[in-house]
Amino acid sequence: MRFLDKIVWITGASSGIGEALAYQFAKEGAKLVISSRREKELQRVKENIISECLIIPLDITDNLSVENALNIAIKHYEKIDLLVNNAGISQRALALDTQEVVDRKIMEVNYFGTINLTKKVLPHMIKNGSGQIAVITSLVGKFGFPLRSAYAASKHALHGFFETLQIELKTNHIYITIICPGRIKTNISFNALNEDGSVYGKMDEGQDKGMSADDCAEKILTCIYKKQREVYIGGFDILMVYIKRYFPLLFHLIVSRIKPT
């Protein structure tokens, strides 16, 4: 019961990693707020949760929706102990083919939506004298990858923002945990955007072989509990972070041979 009675708000909880996180936090005694756009899916998730669980539908790109959600959460629980910024959307298109509107949509969901909610929750945490914010970025937040230009850019941007928060909030007893998963078997490729904004609608081969969302969520809980600053979760794909850092030429060689999916 590592999170007994902690108020934990998870975005993107209707599917994949967010859904698995909701189940694991509930098992560890947390009281939940679960958010995403699809209320029916959130209802399905809630039915599998025994602990207190408040559904707040929310479109992370809509400022009014974010403000309303925060008001409802604070009115219900009076505080948020942990915000898990997990909502996100991916891409399956070459940079040159990707329409500007798609680049912007991915940045709106993954970056601007995430930082907007974070900046609205933070003053409440600072007033309470404590709090923790986790953000699910990606290994692709550490290096570029074919067919993911906007996605990789949005995740790199999150690193810039949240690393800065780690420094700026040092004296406020607010902890920031940046979590970079590799390939996890979820619906992310189904929901990813093509160059024209249509939905990719397929399970990638790599995704299919990825770690399960449950295993990923279990590891995430431990990293959050330990208040780690930055963590990589996955299989051999994690090695790429270190190869890029220490052997940049080798990294370039490997990435340029990857069959893009």
> Which position has the token pair 């900046």?
119
DSSP-derived pairing of the beta strands 82-85 and 53-55 = unpaired
- Spell 110-145 as b/e; 16+ CB within 10 A means b: bbbbbbbbbebbbebbeeeeebbbbbbbbbbbbbeb
Q: Taking the CB of residue 259, how many other CB atoms lie within 10 A of it?
A: 7
Query: Which of 7, 8, 9, 15 is in the footprint of ligand NAP by CB under 6 A?
Result: 15
Distance set, CA 131 to CA 20, 76, 231 (Å): 22, 17, 19
Instruction: Confirm if 3 and 67 have CB atoms less than 8 A apart.
Output: no
Instruction: Confirm if 172 and 126 have CB atoms less than 8 A apart.
Output: yes
Is position 102 an interface residue for ligand NAP (rule: CB under 6 A)?
no
**Spatial separation of the C-alpha atoms in residues 19 and 158, rounded to whole Å:** 21
Closer to ligand NAP by CB, 209 or 245: give it.
209
Is position 149 an interface residue for ligand NAP (rule: CB under 6 A)?
no
Is position 22 an interface residue for ligand NAP (rule: CB under 6 A)?
no
Known catalytic residue at 200: no
Q: How far is the CB of 236 from ligand NAP (least distance, A)?
A: 14
Query: Which of 7, 8, 10, 17 is in the footprint of ligand NAP by CB under 6 A?
Result: 17
Is position 147 an interface residue for ligand NAP (rule: CB under 6 A)?
no
Read off the amino acid at residue 198: S
Is position 183 an interface residue for ligand NAP (rule: CB under 6 A)?
yes
Q: Which of 23, 77, 111, 151 is catalytic?
A: 151
- Show the binding pattern over residues 24-63: x = contacts ligand NAP (CB under 6 A), - = does not: ------------xxx--x----------------xxxx--
Q: Which stretch binds ligand NAP (CB under 6 A): 2-10, 181-189, 240-248, 253-261?
A: 181-189
Catalytic residues: 151
Contacts with ligand NAP, residue ranges (CB under 6 A): 11-12, 14-18, 36-38, 41, 58-61, 86-90, 109, 136, 138, 181, 183-184, 186-188, 191, 207, 210
